[in-house]
Structure 1
């Protein structure tokens, strides 16, 4: 059965209303039907990204939605990606490639160029797929961003597609969110809003029904579905670190929550490992004892190094190592482990050189070229353990530390292990995702366990769960058409 919409857009009354999840669920439902479907997000601002098969970079959420749709992630699915490097500036990525760093005002002027890229990608997807399910960004009620908007109603108006508005009831004020959002829209934008989805509901639906009836009378538009709050999902987060489950394991892993932390999804396998207690430590929080400390990726390595020093991490790491603990650095965290990080061209901020933590005999220089590649290989410290993932970084590291690699990737040495075997660094994202590599890394760090975590199976099961829960929305959309 064909789906009646060639392009359908899902917008939210707020950030984190559930747009990404609803799009992923619709993609999975349409895939089950045999519909050729692709996800699309015109503009994404996120520090969690993925490398595509065509050698580009897109938001992590769009890669997840592509998995839900059963298609390979492609740069056309997220033609504009903004990766914040400061409070007012971001790296601008168009069609998977870096165009440069811009402050908010400069990017606002650049949006006409960005919109052309968005429409080009959308047309290419329409030529290949029967349906394109589009995710908005933030909220269409952000009237200060309405001029030259490419992320929400500006896109919907340009391609003349219907819009479904999602609101999160769990945060409260759901009716005000919906009515208030509609009041901020133009007449044509309100007309193309075909209905609402109330997300993350828990409780007795009978108690909600009077509010639903009021909302439909007030707006003249239907509530298409009320979706339940689903616990225990394993889905890649678009940006913000999700709350960590209560401690379950005795092996303690601590990660500093860097201000510009990127791709914290690297640690999702550890979050659900039954023998691991993973903690993200935020600014001002006490640094707890740990068996393993992991320095994550960063979009501003020198800036986050300064933050680490201000929070007392170098002293804590030194004490941790004296007592036999282990340290892993991933991408930007790997660069921090060396003697210094040089950014003479000011690629990530003000030009200059910052001293590193001095735990690996190497130096890093920032470069304008970004390495984007999917890779596979083996752990050099456990030759039987297969590893796979992706590299997504700017900068080149050199030094004697690299002569003792952590991995062998596509026939070449990669990363480093310190002579005393306590410190490991790598540019490889997703290093814990493959169960053999995860087990080998945890053994290296001191955890010997028979438990294995299959992140792919957990992800697929979660996609099926959200699809099953979202079936009423698909049914309502088809009846509405």
Structure 2
């Protein structure tokens, strides 16, 4: 017998769909149900490597973790990864399928629906219930033709829909009722209930609002969910959700180290920064819009990029290249992660136009390496140790290209299979690695912070994520009619 399915769509982007699905995955798993997350189409440069050797959106990997199962490529069969001038890279069932501009992609969606339905059938065969997450807004009728992400998918598999609105951004009544008014009547029949999310203040003030929406639409009110204050402890799906840590208090110099991250247009895998943001002894500063590098910076991190050459150009436009080079000459420390590692070298070449127009660009020249973007994409979970101090490091590789040069003779890491990774400058202050998840390991993070002079920390990052998922599940259990949700699934 096929598993039940229930789909969660939103009145817009960032209304909390991913978080609610994650919380319900943990809640239902804790009730003894076998549950799987599923998102037909996602758009994000924050991706995760699966055990079956592919990549999916980070949000679906978190939802799988919440469900206490390993993530698979079928949980997110279509992943769009925005690049530079060529539009988005299309990843299908974990592997690069091609690339397309936005308008061209609309005409290719019909081609991708069979893959989506195949992955959904495989996912459904493994569990009791599938929680499906839509993308963007259910009311984007201009994109309804060949839709695979929202109502097009729901109708294809006859999945009942729960619509989520965000009261924090305002206009939630109009957003919910407006969705009912503009979508196709056959699509509207699939919507069984609604949730109002991110309530701040007295919930009784919106009781009549819930009643109004229910009466106007005929949908069941599933719950008014207060803002979940610990959401920042979980990886953000979108770069717009990327947060800095609270600023260092005046006179607190020496008690917190300042780690600075330039936020570039095609930043990728930015959840690498989450463990640092949560450290009490760290002030994580996100540089945006050309803001100057603070003079009392303790470490600069260049994060991953989906378009390294384009982001190098953006780095120079902001003047951050000169800031970082001057900072390094004063003895500052710099760490490059994946695309950031490539930027630290002498040059980056993309002869085949994998990430943008074919070409090459000079790097920052802080490590004696060069990179050519060519060959197959490396997607693998890895374990190893830092060469200098033997501290364990665990994470995953997700990159294309080969980095060579004298700097690689001083690798930052050595993996358990014997492969070296990364490079370190002669003075040891500049380093780069292809390892994502580098700071998620408590021992590795503690070693870096100790070198920077941060106070010892008791933060257990992975444990904190688990505790937060449990708290999220309890939060939803208190404010949603979960039994009614289960009765809606079919």
TM range, smaller chain: over 0.9
Q: For structure 1, which segment, 213-222 or 344-353, has the greater mean C-alpha deviation from structure 2 after superposition? A: 213-222
Whole-Å separation in 1 of the counterparts to 2:469 and 2:485: 20
Alpha-carbon displacement from aligned partner over 1:220-252 (angstroms, at most 9, x marks no partner): 222111111111331111122433231256200
Secondary structure (helix, strand or coil) at the match of 1:232 reads helix
Q: Indicate the residue corresponding to 2:338 in structure 1.
A: 331
Q: 2:380 aligns with which of 373, 381, 390?
A: 373
Whole-Å separation in 2 of the counterparts to 1:448 and 1:220: 56
Is the 1:439–1:452 Cα contact (8 Å) retained in structure 2? Answer: no
Whole-Å separation in 2 of the counterparts to 1:142 and 1:237: 24
Alignment size in residue pairs: 477
Is the 1:269–1:455 Cα contact (8 Å) retained in structure 2? Answer: yes
Q: Indicate the residue corresponding to 1:307 in structure 2.
A: 314
Would you say 1:386 and 2:392 are equivalent positions? yes
Is the 1:331–1:426 Cα contact (8 Å) retained in structure 2? Answer: yes
Q: Indicate the residue corresponding to 2:116 in structure 1.
A: 118
Is the 2:261–2:302 Cα contact (8 Å) retained in structure 1? Answer: yes
Would you say 1:245 and 2:245 are equivalent positions? yes
Q: For structure 1, which segment, 37-46 or 25-34, has the greater mean C-alpha deviation from structure 2 after superposition? A: 25-34
Q: Indicate the residue corresponding to 1:473 in structure 2.
A: 481
Secondary structure (helix, strand or coil) at the match of 2:64 reads helix
Whole-Å separation in 2 of the counterparts to 1:304 and 1:252: 23
Alpha-carbon displacement from aligned partner over 1:26-84 (angstroms, at most 9, x marks no partner): 11111011111100000000010000000000000000000000000000000000000
Secondary structure (helix, strand or coil) at the match of 2:189 reads helix
Q: 2:348 aligns with which of 338, 341, 348?
A: 341
Q: Indicate the residue corresponding to 2:361 in structure 1.
A: 354
Q: 1:322 aligns with which of 329, 345, 351?
A: 329
TM-score by length of 2: 0.95
* Structure 2, gaps ≥5 residues long: 249-254
Alpha-carbon displacement from aligned partner over 1:304-330 (angstroms, at most 9, x marks no partner): 001111111121112212222100000
Is the 1:88–1:104 Cα contact (8 Å) retained in structure 2? Answer: no
Is the 2:281–2:454 Cα contact (8 Å) retained in structure 1? Answer: no
Matching of residues 34-433 of structure 1 within 5 Å: 34-86=32-84, 89-233=87-231, 234-240=233-239, 241-248=241-248, 250-289=256-295, 290-383=297-390, 385-410=391-416, 411-433=418-440
* Structure 1, gaps ≥5 residues long: none
Alpha-carbon offset, residue 479 of structure 1? 5.7
Whole-Å separation in 2 of the counterparts to 1:159 and 1:206: 37
Whole-Å separation in 2 of the counterparts to 1:129 and 1:479: 17
Whole-Å separation in 2 of the counterparts to 1:478 and 1:296: 41
Matching of residues 426-465 of structure 1 within 5 Å: 426-444=433-451, 446-465=452-471
TM-score by length of 1: 0.96
Q: Are the structure 2 counterparts of residues 5 and 228 from structure 1 closer, same or farther at C-alpha, using a change threshold of 3 Å?
A: farther
Whole-Å separation in 1 of the counterparts to 2:278 and 2:59: 19
Whole-Å separation in 2 of the counterparts to 1:120 and 1:315: 50
Alpha-carbon offset, residue 368 of structure 1? 4.3
Secondary structure (helix, strand or coil) at the match of 1:382 reads coil
Alpha-carbon offset, residue 463 of structure 1? 0.8
Q: Are the structure 2 counterparts of residues 140 and 88 from structure 1 closer, same or farther at C-alpha, using a change threshold of 3 Å?
A: farther
CA RMSD of aligned residues (A): 1.6
Whole-Å separation in 1 of the counterparts to 2:155 and 2:193: 16
Alpha-carbon displacement from aligned partner over 1:333-391 (angstroms, at most 9, x marks no partner): 000011000111111111111001001111100014110000011111211x1110000
